[in-house]
Amino acid sequence: MKKGMIKATGPFERVVHWCVALSCLLLCITGMGMMYHSLNFIGTLVGGMGNLKMIHNFGGIFFGVSLLFTIGMWWKEAGIFSFPEDMEWIKAAGGYLWHVENVPEVGKYNPGQKMFFLAVALFGTIMVVTGLIMWFPLGYSAQLVRVMFVLHALGYVVIFAFFFVHLYLVTIGAPGSAPAMFTGWVTKAWVKKQHPKWLKEMEKDGTLVVYGDEKTSCKRRC
């Protein structure tokens, strides 16, 4: 770890993030394995379609629990837009789609990240609810269950699309973002460029944690 790195996330945040991400990826793979005939070989790899369905269903329960922690943990920071600064960032597309001389300053999460969070929270909840009804259809009309299949597929399309956009932004789109969810530490230059308002807020509130800073370490212990 290089001296001067800034702490962006804690261990629990990273665990919850990866639980949601990996279980979501598992659900997408197993779901496609059941939905598309050309991908039925995925079921063969795990001992048959019955096993694939079981992995998908129980993976959905794990995803649902992880999603609850995700919503509870990040709702206040990533689930609520701050106007007018977030609208200014949206108008400039954050500088991702065209060159912007001075990108509007944002806090810990920019509007793009907030939209991704809300999409996962909303459509993830829809997929969990529809999945449970599809798993236990007793007592529900056949018409309602058919609607659940449609909503479940819609949730998959939305989340799968956002997943690739998210993957692009944390790698090619905004280099230096990935370490926030691997080690929890990012460079000060990255924070100053991507989330300048958040950096100022931490400096003002005294919550900025810098690796190798003895004053910061002392403040945390005292």
Q: What is the pLDDT of residues 120-157, one digit of tens each?
A: 999 999 999 999 999 998 888 999 999 999 999 999 99
Angle at 95 between CA 191 and CA 179, to 5 degrees: 35
**Token output for 4:** 């001067």
Residue 60: give its domain's CATH number.
Answer: 1.20.950.20
The one-letter amino acid at 32: M
Quick one: how far is CA 4 from the chain centroid? 26
**Consecutive sets of 10 residues in the chain, 222 residues long: mean pLDDT of each?**
87 96 94 93 94 96 96 92 87 78 84 91 95 91 93 92 84 84 92 88 90 58 41
Number of domains forming the structure of the chain: 1
Query: Where in the sequence is the domain holding 154, given as residue range(s)?
Result: 8-186
Q: Is residue 197 part of a domain?
A: no
Transcribe 61-116 into DSSP letters. HHHHHHHHHHHHHHHHHHSS--TTHHHHHHHTGGGSSS--SSPPP--SS-HHHHHH
74 CB-contact burial (10 Å; exposed 0-12 / middle 13-18 / buried 19+): buried
Instruction: Output the pLDDT for position 89.
Output: 87
Q: What is the pLDDT of residue 221?
A: 42
Residue 39 lies in a domain: yes
Biggest alpha carbon–alpha carbon distance for the chain:
65
